[in-house]
Amino acid sequence: MSMVESKTRIYDVRNYGANGDGKSDDSKAFMSAWNDICGRHGTPTLLIPQNRVFMVKRNIIMKGPCKAKNINIQLHGRIVAAQKNAWQGYKSTMILFTNINGLRIFGKGGLIDGYGSSWWPCKHCPRPSVLAFNACNGLYVGYLRITNSPKAHITINGCEGAKFSHITIRSPADSPNTDGIDISFSKNILIRDSNIASGDDCIAIIGESSYINATGIACGPGHGISIGSLGRINGHDNVEHVRVYNCSFTKTTNGARIKTFSGGSGYAKRITFEKIKLNQVYNPIIIDQHYNNIMNAGGGVQVSDVTFRGFRGTSANDKAINLACGSSGCFNIVLDKIKIISSKPGNPTSCSCRNVHGRSTSTIPNCNSSLR
């Protein structure tokens, strides 16, 4: 094969033994296809064709580094995981991409179904996430649909310069710990123009992450967009330079949330939530420095330079703004151009601030009396 041919070559997963009949286990075929194209030069494309259902019963691990500078995956068909009793792999991640640079996944028309309903009844059992990216730099994922993950739908760990666009995630509100997207140990991550419905955080930004941008996210149901939880079990976590912009929350447990454990250390700083629409959100704006009521000794995670600006809509809870900081306090907290009214006609909304140093301007409910 010439170098020109290899640059434009499309590799159909069916040519590696995948049946796509929704019954046979196609896991090994996916692995064989990946091992082949990872060793190719040029820009190979792995095709998962339309009108086919590819059943996977064990973990698919797509590992680099690869010879190709870029690899494309076109997901036009469906990937469906086996139910819990038929799953034969590890209970960590169903599909893992690790140590791959320049990976581009185009999911237009395609779908990944984690068959989570067979896992959810056992809330404390180990359950796998559907899709994980580990140490993948220069990653692009677009127009991807994921539904019914046993646990988190997408996890991003140790990645730099990743972009996610037009992602659709769907799981029921009562599905346990089904985070939409979890981000940890990552930098320069953009998530935009996406719809996330889950049983936990729509997006969770966890420790050692910076320059995270979530723009144009429609969240609901779910637990909102969260920084944290940070400082779990006396741990050390740093999160900074986060911007959540032009997002909407519909009937979510929380809207904009920062959650830390009191015994941990580290910081959450330079964080902005701006231009936010709220529809019957129970905790529209919340800082919780005693997450899960766990009170440990220690200085706690420092929260500072946080701005909540341009919030509009309704709260399902009379306490629309709840900033509960630890004894060491939160600093430079800004509330600006906020109007949150009750979703129950005639009910007032209130603001509660504890150990909060900052300022409030043009904010309903009024927070001036409880800010330091």
Where b means 16+ CB within 10 Å and e means fewer, 211-234 reads bbebbebbbbbbbbbbbbbbbbee
Of the candidates 174, 75, 86, 183, the one whose C-alpha atom is nearest the C-alpha of residue 129 is 183
- What is the Cα–Cα distance from 146 to 142, expressed in whole angstroms? 12
Strand partners, 160: 187
Of the candidates 352, 318, 315, 347, the one whose C-alpha atom is nearest the C-alpha of residue 335 is 352
Residue holding tokens 């809870």? 317
CB neighbour list of residue 97: distance below 8 Å, 6 or more residues apart: 62, 103, 131, 132, 133, 134, 136
Strands 145-147 and 160-165: unpaired
Of the candidates 362, 274, 340, 226, the one whose C-alpha atom is nearest the C-alpha of residue 351 is 340
| 36 catalytic per annotation | no
Q: Which of 200, 201, 237, 305 is catalytic?
A: 200
Q: Which of 201, 223, 237, 305 is catalytic?
A: 223
Backbone angles phi, psi at 358, to 5 degrees: 175, -155
- What is the Cα–Cα distance from 135 to 139, expressed in whole angstroms? 10
Give the CA-trace dihedral at 293, 294, 297, 301, to 10 degrees.
-80
Strand partners, 358: 333
* DSSP secondary structure letter of residue 171: -
Q: Are the C-beta atoms of 64 and 98 separated by less than 8 Å?
A: yes
Alpha helices in the chain (DSSP H): 3-7, 27-38
Q: CA-based diameter of the chain, in Å?
A: 74
Annotate 2-17 with DSSP letters as a single string: -HHHHHT-EEEGGGGT
| 223 catalytic per annotation | yes
- Which residues participate in catalysis according to the annotation? 200, 223
